[in-house]
Copies of this chain bind each other. A is one copy, B any other.
């Protein structure tokens, strides 16, 4: 992203936050009790948009008014937060972590946040009100650090200037570390035919060692378990802007299916950001419960928690398809789960020479 482009975004973000301040100010002037209304962020008000295949908020709205002390305090905190983001972050091109913002509020007297969950929530409010992402306000998470490896040439706008990096030829064996704000990344060139998001570091390293990225022109994305926003945002951009098909390769257990779902359908917590974070066309590659049978993989017994999670997935709209109902039911019957690294039992090359080519063929990707 070029300097001016960044200033534009910072300016737009400031404008939108100022808009909130102005509307509150206007309400004061017009003698209306100041308030803002937000979509109610409860499970009850989350709807699954069949067409868009993502989670969105329903029509329920919550009115946050200064009529009550609680509401007044909450709006006061929102205004303090807006002030911080405009004066400290956007105008000085600075940033803070979610945790730091909680600490910064110490100096806000009665507007001090009681706990971080409160400041996190207000930042989500600002995202909704401004229809921007917290990254646009230069707000960082605590930890991140997923990585990608593959035939992708990027330009990252950093505080130290622009960096052109080829994510296969100009990075170490561990790959290119994804920054917290991937919208600072510009795609310069791409020789990839697909994106494969991989749950575990062990499999990510296996695919790199076996040269899978070269043989299949694949960009490998290490999800590191439940993927961070930046990772999901990057996958979304690779799919939307470069038109690359996305596959997700995880362990074969209910928690891993949720990792896939967060990439493909989004999560309730970030329903207001689905358009930025979600890749509805992402395909689940495996490990499928049917693979446990077909490949006679070594497995572990399902725990009660696992079974519980599988049953709740049977009623989860994100898994409301014949494919998933069949697979999940099969796993409940098998009472077994398998890790993606279990393929090592068939030899170090089996996963890249046999399993993945077969699955990619079934998905029409190889």
Whether the pair A174, B179 counts as a contact (CB closer than 8 A) is yes
Please measure, in the bound complex, the distance between the C-alpha atom of A142 and the C-alpha atom of B159, giving whole angstroms: 32
Find A184's partner among B160, B173, B176, B201 (CB 8 Å cutoff): B173
**Which B residues lie within 8 Å of A158 (CB)?**
172-173
Q: What are 7 inter-chain pairs, A to B, with CB distance below 8 A?
A: A100-B341, A104-B345, A140-B202, A145-B222, A163-B169, A173-B179, A174-B180
In angstroms, Cα B344 to Cα A100, docked, is 5
| Contact of A145 with B142 at beta-carbon distance under 8 Å, contacts A103-B344, A174-B177 already known | no
Judge if A165 is at the interface, Cβ distance under 8 Å: yes
Smallest Cβ distance from A113 to chain B, in angstroms? 11
Given A96-B344, A172-B163, A345-B103, residue A177 in contact with residue B177 (CB < 8 A): yes
Contact across chains for B95 and A209 when beta carbons are under 8 A apart: yes
- CB within 8 Å of B: which residues of A? 88, 94-97, 99-101, 103-104, 106-107, 140-147, 156, 158-160, 163, 165, 168-181, 184, 200-202, 205-206, 208-209, 211, 222, 224, 298, 339, 341-345, 348
Cα–Cα, bound, A99→B171 (Å):
25
Residues of chain B with a CB closer than 8 A to A141's CB: 201
**A237 and B353 alpha carbons, distance in the complex (Å):** 38
Please, how many angstroms separate the alpha-carbon atoms of A156 and B173 in the complex?
8
Q: Judge whether A348 and B144 touch: CB under 8 Å.
A: no
* Neighbouring B residues of A142 by C-beta, 8 Å: 200-202
Residue of B nearest to A181 (CB): B173
CA distance A166 to B4 in the complex (A): 27
In the bound complex, do residue A100 and residue B202 qualify as a contact, i.e. CB atoms below 8 Å apart? yes
> Given that A100-B348, A103-B344 are known contacts, is A177 also in contact with B209, CB under 8 Å in the complex?
no
The residue of chain B having its C-beta at the shortest distance from the C-beta of A347 within the complex is: B104
The listed residue (B140, B165, B224, B343) touching A143 by CB distance below 8 A is B224
> Cα distance A91–B165 when bound, in Å?
33
Please tell me if the beta carbons of B200 and A159 are within 8 angstroms of each other in the complex: no
Q: What's the Cα separation between A39 and B312 when bound, in Å?
A: 50
**Inter-chain contact B205/A180, CB cutoff 8 Å:** yes
Contact present for A165 and B174 (CB under 8 Å): no
Name the B residues within 8 Å of A169 (CB-CB). Answer: 160, 163
Chain B residues closer than 8 Å to A181, beta-carbon distance:
173
